[in-house]
Amino acid sequence: MTIQTPTPFPAPGRVPDQVSFDRKELGIILGLYGRMVAAGEWRDYGISSLREAAVFSVFRRTAERPLYRIEKRPRLRHRQGLYSVIGMDGQILKRGHDLKTVLRVLERKLIRAVE
């Protein structure tokens, strides 16, 4: 019989090797994405899982630069907030700790597009 040593929990504040969106976060983002596709505003998306951030990029056409980037940066969770929405020009449109609240800036654009 061999004795197994327990696997230690990661140290608090340690950033994982790769940041990604969890199932709940993706559900919220893809819900908004589906509504924007139905409105004819968005047509494609890309997901990147990097060392510092997870990025959900939204495109009007596949060959263009992204219209918006939804980023998750764990290092900023105690400062400006874990989530941010960044426009095409690199300007931060909204930043915060709650994903639904941050995505409201894009919801307003959906309401204007439908009207």
Whether residue 101 is contained in a domain is answered as yes
Q: What is the pTM (predicted TM-score) of this model?
A: 0.76
Q: What is the number of domains present in the chain?
A: 1
Whether residue 30 is contained in a domain is answered as no
Task: Give the length of the chain.
Answer: 115
Whether residue 15 is contained in a domain is answered as no
How far is it, in rounded angstroms, from Cα 74 to Cα 13? 9
CA dihedral 45, 90, 49, 63 (to 10 degrees): 40
How far is it, in rounded angstroms, from Cα 52 to Cα 84? 14
- Give tens-digit pLDDT for 28-74: 999 999 988 888 888 888 998 888 889 999 988 766 788 899 998 88
Structural domain that includes position 109? 42-114
Whether residue 1 is contained in a domain is answered as no
